[in-house]
Structure 1
Amino acid sequence: MTTQPDCRADRELPAATDRSDRSPASDRLETIDCLRGVAALAVCCYHLTRSNLMTFDVPALRWLFGWGAAGVDIFFVISGFIIPYTMMCSAYRVSHFGAFFGRRLIRLAPPSWIQIASMLALFLAISATAGSGPAWMGAMSASRILHNLAYTVDFTRETWINPVFWTLAVEFQFYLLVGLAFPFVFAGKRAFVVTCVMLILLRHVPVVGDLPFLKHATLFLIGGAALLHRQSVLTIREYLILVAILTLVTAIRPGAVQAGFGCATALVISFMTVRSRIGVFLGNISYSLYLTHSLTAGLTATVLTRVIAPTTAGPKMIIIAAALALVIISSWLFYRIVERPFIELAKRTFPRPAERPRRSVELAF
């Protein structure tokens, strides 16, 4: 099978884009950037309104942002759409796997490693002054640090230094699968449905079914279905039926909230156009925001609670608002200083085939 995807906008969109000459692809990717921003901000607000991070609780805000953890599920659906989309645009073959995985590794791993180093530095600083590290960070060991750096914590008895990093392990497991199986999975509607059935069944196989990726695989598949609908491989009727089935399976595991947000994300990608400069800005810094918000917010709360007593709702909300503002500012700085240079390094080190002179963007299966 061959298809000709519209790849006129397969790069990150700047905040200021000429809206007078836009392609449907650019509108779709701006919508995805906005969804990324919403997802990262939702996770951040979820953690900011939890007493385990802020040391206090605001029941109204806890209720308001109780859904925020589902931002992770939005990210998974987006990955299921955008990663195969860029592979289509670069005429991906399995022989490109090394470059593909190397590009994702350079793009994502070093910023997370720098964040881990920052948390280790904090641990050592507190240990030197207080005699022991903060209780919420747990005990440090060479094994724990190495498994965090390799995203293999879920295969051991170790724990994550930064609790949100479990999602990076799931993402890398997805990259391994899609990088090796892309020519089959996206060869057509039958191949994609077979993949859906196989992954759903594998979730019930002992040992294998405990893989973190398999628990969330249906969310990535919902994103893949949205892509096949966009490429006219699936009719709207086939698409809606498949998404409904995948949503039902997701509701069983990992849960109904994840299923609802996963389904909603796919429908927004498929049928809505969202344009927002703020949304694109947040989308561009979403990975940095996701990586750094826990440490930045925790430090901010630690300092401000010594100045502003969080005894009533008012002071608590002031502390949360200040923490959120500092999280966004520090995330932007982290993006400019750390993340963006590694994005450029990944592009230079492992350029996509589409970035080299070529005659066609057709898929070659």
Structure 2
Amino acid sequence: MNTQRKVESLSFLRALAVLMVCFCHFGQPFNEGNAFAGTFNAFHEYGKYGVQVFFVISGFVIPLSLDKGRYQLEHYGKFLLKRLIRLHPPYLIALGITLVVLALSTAVKHIAFPETTWSVFLSLFYLHHPDSNPVFWTLKVEAEYYLFIGLFFVLLQKYQRLTLAVSIPLFMLLSQTAVVNYIDLFSHLLYFMIGIIGYVMYMKGGKNWLEAGYITAIVAFTYLFDGAAPTIAATFTILVIMLYTGKVHKSFDFLGEISYSVYLLHFPLGIKLINLAGRYVKPQYDIALFVFTVLFCLGVGYVFWKYIERPFSERSNRIKYAPRKTVQMEVAAAA
């Protein structure tokens, strides 16, 4: 299998995931009192499972990028630095915007600002998230995943069969213990594992009956303990990654590219917009306000991506695990 080709479906899945999350949060204010209340309620009920889509994508993409970069354990520090530069500055700026919006809102309402110096300090390290931007909870899970995958990937490369055979039942067990109260990742790690196993199947490019059995076991487990909806979202994601090999429309490429920026800002900006405009919009026009709010957040997300996220992403990409000449020599030797 040509593992250098772009996995086109990832753009579509990122776009789908961020739209699901937006629909979830923007649907709630409209889930009664209008002709589309049932639809908005469904958005709110099922859109939240876009988070599982993101988790499976991360499970697949990060090992794939480590593999392409010829990652070794000695590069663990560089890997974490790359992720830090890529994701943390945009998060901090989004956190600042969130706190400014919250401060303005509380000032207008003449109520006390709910955050403290300590809670803001904890938020800098994902240890707290303001109620005015609840989606930040997933960033802590992702950060814990990066700490995990930089080590787990090395075991996976050296002892693939043993690592999967031991880790999957272990992670199933841990997900049902009190450890989840201390390390959030273990509540969601099985969804990342679906993506990780998908990466193994992708790299092998041949018969993957054992790995397919592992995914089936995880799917059965998450269905039993987490329910149908998140399991269906995760299963759909890995099936699209593994089976779809065509192109995606450039609009999905665009939405997938800006998905992180939209995710960071959509809640505080979108919900405030709905609350303000909702005072003047009649219920029969709720659908128009909903669509406008989604488009507004996509526009803000694009601006944030262009001037904030993309520059830090480019800086992150400049950090290499090994000098280019060394990698080229290794490839030539392998050939």
TM-score for both structures, normalised by structure 1:
0.82
Q: What are the Cα deviations for residues 110-150 of structure 1, in whole angstroms up to 9, with x where unaligned? A: 111111111211222234444225xxxx7111121122210
Q: What are the Cα deviations for residues 142-199 of structure 1, in whole angstroms up to 9, with x where unaligned? A: 121122210123xxxx765520011111111110011122111343223222121222
CA distance in structure 2 between the aligned counterparts of 1:54 and 1:145, rounded to whole angstroms: 32
Deviation at 1:248, TM superposition (A): 1.2
Q: Secondary structure at the match of 1:253?
A: helix
Picking from 246, 249, 270, the partner of 1:276 is 249
Once the two structures are superposed, the pairs formed by residues 25-36 of structure 1 within 5 Å of their partners are 25-26=5-6, 28=7, 30-36=8-14
**2:156 corresponds to:** 185
TM-score for both structures, normalised by structure 2:
0.89
> 1:189 touches 1:234 (CA, 8 Å); kept in 2?
no
**1:265 corresponds to:** 237
**2:80 corresponds to:** 101
Matching of residue 351 in structure 1 with residue 329 in structure 2: no
Matching of residue 243 in structure 1 with residue 218 in structure 2: no
Instruction: Rate the CA distance shift 1:234–1:144 in 2: closer, same or farther, 3 A.
Output: farther
In proportion to residue count, which structure has more helix? 2
CA distance in structure 1 between the aligned counterparts of 2:218 and 2:331, rounded to whole angstroms: 30
Deviation at 1:237, TM superposition (A): 2.1
> 1:91 touches 1:354 (CA, 8 Å); kept in 2?
no
Deviation at 1:223, TM superposition (A): 0.4
CA distance in structure 2 between the aligned counterparts of 1:330 and 1:341, rounded to whole angstroms: 16
Q: Secondary structure at the match of 2:201?
A: helix
Picking from 166, 176, 193, the partner of 1:194 is 166
CA distance in structure 2 between the aligned counterparts of 1:221 and 1:201, rounded to whole angstroms: 14
Instruction: Rate the CA distance shift 1:56–1:82 in 2: closer, same or farther, 3 A.
Output: farther
Deviation at 1:279, TM superposition (A): 1.0
**2:303 corresponds to:** 333
Picking from 269, 274, 285, the partner of 1:301 is 274
Q: Secondary structure at the match of 1:91?
A: coil
> 2:60 touches 2:198 (CA, 8 Å); kept in 1?
yes
Once the two structures are superposed, the pairs formed by residues 77-96 of structure 1 within 5 Å of their partners are 77-96=56-75
CA distance in structure 1 between the aligned counterparts of 2:156 and 2:33, rounded to whole angstroms: 47
CA distance in structure 2 between the aligned counterparts of 1:327 and 1:54, rounded to whole angstroms: 20
Q: What are the Cα deviations for residues 197-223 of structure 1, in whole angstroms up to 9, with x where unaligned? A: 222222244335652211111111100
CA distance in structure 2 between the aligned counterparts of 1:50 and 1:88, rounded to whole angstroms: 41
**2:287 corresponds to:** 317
Q: Secondary structure at the match of 1:321?
A: helix
Once the two structures are superposed, the pairs formed by residues 117-128 of structure 1 within 5 Å of their partners are 117-128=96-107
Number of residue pairs the alignment of both structures matches: 328
CA distance in structure 1 between the aligned counterparts of 2:274 and 2:132, rounded to whole angstroms: 19
> 1:229 touches 1:239 (CA, 8 Å); kept in 2?
yes
Q: AA paired with 2:19?
A: L
Instruction: Rate the CA distance shift 1:166–1:361 in 2: closer, same or farther, 3 A.
Output: farther
Q: What are the Cα deviations for residues 89-119 of structure 1, in whole angstroms up to 9, with x where unaligned? A: 1111111111101111111111111111112
Gaps of 5+ in 1: 9-24
Sequence identity percentage: 27
**2:186 corresponds to:** 214
Q: Secondary structure at the match of 1:207?
A: helix
Gaps of 5+ in 2: none
Deviation at 1:54, TM superposition (A): 9.1
CA distance in structure 2 between the aligned counterparts of 1:185 and 1:77, rounded to whole angstroms: 17
**1:47 corresponds to:** 25
Picking from 137, 154, 173, the partner of 1:166 is 137
Q: AA paired with 2:114?
A: A
